[in-house]
């Protein structure tokens, strides 16, 4: 089978598509023929091994998991001993990061608990785009942010997967939503329904006098105090990721200084039932950038890292050229 292999840290140009042995499912594992996968911050950081402290997670000298990729959609081809949730032919999807990595490939063997059944009316592209970003957005806005009807919400990094999902979730609560990003993403943000759009290269939303009931941040480029000053009384700031320095500041500000700032400790796949309900009712629809063929994955990871993408960047081993 073909897979994207990262043998050492470095620029995305070192990534290679290689022929490797097709895996065989072990106990409690399923063999999945992958239809689609998605690019995430994990892939961008893991390939480069940066920030360096992340190598404690990825591997000190080289990646422990040489095939990147942490979410997928596909079809179960075979089941190992003890599998109870699936049978051959089931369509599945999920964020597999609790159980391993390696979705930039034609096949993967993964613990059955890493996946859920894909609804028939959900495309493989949409399924791969939903499992990580929609969960982050839901857990940030609903579980931690306690979003309420008619709130004034701001989403920073609004043109990516979490931002586009966050807008649609917030709209189910009849919120007024401001999105912050730049470049060609701004046109997409207008098309999907942000009420106000701020180009961060032209305006600093922490200094324009506006205040918000809830901020969802996918970038975390400022100190917590900058966000706190634009919160309404009782408001919350919630980050799902971004610069490591800023994330650590958020944790300190919450735990030690008791400020209304929070980090989402992602619970993978926990809310996919709720996400599926919104999808079935037509209330959410992921923004897809792609799908691109597996051979273009090195380019896709670089494209993602440079922030040029919109929505979720999808890669498919079934695409060619």
pLDDT of 168 > 80? The answer is: yes
- The whole-number pLDDT of residue 320 equals 53
pTM: 0.94
Report how far apart, in Å, the C-alpha atoms of 284 and of each of 5, 121, 167, 180 are.
Answer: 33, 13, 9, 20
Residues 6 or more apart whose Cβ sits within 8 Å of residue 273: none
The secondary structure of 51-89 as a DSSP string is SGGGHHHH-SSS-SSSS---EEEEEEEEE-TT--S--TT
Region 59-81: mean pLDDT is: 96
Region 123-152: mean pLDDT is: 97
pLDDT of 88 > 60? The answer is: yes
- For the chain, which domains are there? 2-131+287-316 (3.90.180.10), 133-263 (3.40.50.720)
**Sign for the pseudo-dihedral over CA of 88, 94, 100, 104:** positive
Question: Tens digits of per-residue pLDDT, 36-55?
Answer: 999 999 999 999 999 888 89
Region 4-14: mean pLDDT is: 96
Helices (H), the chain: 41-48, 55-58, 124-130, 133-138, 161-171, 185-192, 224-228, 244-255, 272-280, 297-305
Percent of the chain with pLDDT over 70: 99
- The whole-number pLDDT of residue 242 equals 87
């Amino acid at each position: 089978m073909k897979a994207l292999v990262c043998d050492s840290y470095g620029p995305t140009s070192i990534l290679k598509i290689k022929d490797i042995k097709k895996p065989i499912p072990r106990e409690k594992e399923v063999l999945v023929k992958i239809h689609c996968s998605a690019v995430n911050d994990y892939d961008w950081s893991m390939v480069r091994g940066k920030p360096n402290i992340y190598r404690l997670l990825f591997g000190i000298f080289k990646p422990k998991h040489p095939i990147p990729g942490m979410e997928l959609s596909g079809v179960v081809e075979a089941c190992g001993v003890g599998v109870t949730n699936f049978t051959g032919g089931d369509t599945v999807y999920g964020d597999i990061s609790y159980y391993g990595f390696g979705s930039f490939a034609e096949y993967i063997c993964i613990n059955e608990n890493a996946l859920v059944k894909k609804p028939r009316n959900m495309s493989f592209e949409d399924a791969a785009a939903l499992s990580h970003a929609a969960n982050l957005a839901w857990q940030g806005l609903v579980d931690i942010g306690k979003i309420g009807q008619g709130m004034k919400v701001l989403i920073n990094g609004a043109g990516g997967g979490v931002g586009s999902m966050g807008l649609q979730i917030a709209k189910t609560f009849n919120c007024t939503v401001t999105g912050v990003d730049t470049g060609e993403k701004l046109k997409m943000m207008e098309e999907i329904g942000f009420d106000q759009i701020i180009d961060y290269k032209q305006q600093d939303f922490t200094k324009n006098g506006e205040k918000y009931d809830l901020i969802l941040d996918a970038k975390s480029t400022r100190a917590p105090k900058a966000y706190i000053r634009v919160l309404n009384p009782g408001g919350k700031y919630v980050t799902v990721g971004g610069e490591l320095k800023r994330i650590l500041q958020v944790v300190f500000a919450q735990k030690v200084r008791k400020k209304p700032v929070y980090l989402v400790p992602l619970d993978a796949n926990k809310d996919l039932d709720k996400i599926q309900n919104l999808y079935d009712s037509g209330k959410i629809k992921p923004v897809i950038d792609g799908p691109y063929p597996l051979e273009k994955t090195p380019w896709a990871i670089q494209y993602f890292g440079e922030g040029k993408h919109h929505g979720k960047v999808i890669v498919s081993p079934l695409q060619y050229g």
